Amino acid sequence: MGYYIFGAGGHGRVVLDILLAAGEEVLGFLDDNLALAGQWRYGYPVLGDLRAVSPAPEHKILVAIGDNYARQRVLAEAEELGFRPGIIVHPSAVLCREVELGPNTVVAAGAVVGPGARLGRNVIVNTGATVDHDVWVGDNVHISPGVNVAGGVEIGNNTHIGIGAVVLPGVKIGPDVVIGAGAVVSDDIPAGVTAVGVPARRFLPRREER
């Protein structure tokens, strides 16, 4: 089985490394930036956009984009075209018993996903992050490097947990939230806000950021 990687940037390089470490075949990169077509990235060709290749039953795709909304958009387009999303876990990561991973989920080097954790579609658990027991993670979530999510936490769709943040046990974080780097989340966070600081407090509605 071979994999296409959509996204020839930094996160694409991380996904490439995970695939190679896991002994998987890499067919090449896909990217919307057509100026990259025909070039080589990290030893593999950039073949073009999603329409540059024909999906085949024996091939899968991993959408390697850090931004949650862009990753969601590209994954939906890829599936409409007939691509099958894969799931990839670095050999150094730890998946405990009764863990569920949705399509296009990437678990990077050194990450730990605790027993009974359930991760939705299109989730990134990045380098060295920990997601403890019985955590529920919605779709299109990015848990950045070095994040520690304690047991029983709920994280809503499209939420981004910034690098090095800590989420304390049982906290509920709504959808479309950004948790700032290094924040300590000790209380529930409602939908659609950015929360920063120690302890994390609501800072700015997401709709005002756009």
pLDDT tens-digit series, residues 12-23: 999 999 999 999
Cβ–Cβ contacts within 10 Å for residue 165, how many? 25
Mark whether 163 and 196 lie in a shared domain. yes
Active-site position among 11, 133, 142, 160:
133
Average pLDDT in the chain? 95
Mark whether 135 and 199 lie in a shared domain. yes
% of the chain residues with pLDDT over 90: 94
Mark whether 175 and 134 lie in a shared domain. yes
Tell me, yes or no, if 90 is annotated catalytic: no
Kindly tell me if the per-residue pLDDT of 200 is higher than 80.
yes
How does pLDDT run across 70-83, given as a tens digit for each residue? Answer: 999 999 999 999 99
107 CB-near residues (< 8 Å, 6+ apart): 88, 89, 90, 93, 95, 101, 113, 125
- Tokens (6 digits) for 48: 């073009």
Kindly tell me if the per-residue pLDDT of 119 is higher than 90.
yes
Q: What integer pLDDT is reported at residue 13 of this predicted model?
A: 97
Mark whether 166 and 74 lie in a shared domain. no
Q: What integer pLDDT is reported at residue 202 of this predicted model?
A: 76
pTM for this one?
0.94
* Pick from 41-50, 91-100, 198-207: least confident: 198-207
Q: Residue 9 is part of which domain span?
A: 2-86
Kindly tell me if the per-residue pLDDT of 209 is higher than 60.
no
Mark whether 56 and 105 lie in a shared domain. no
- In this prediction, residues 139-166 reach a mean pLDDT of 98
How many domains does the chain contain in total? 2
Helix (H) or strand (E) holding 25: strand 25-30
CATH number of 22's domain: 3.40.50.20
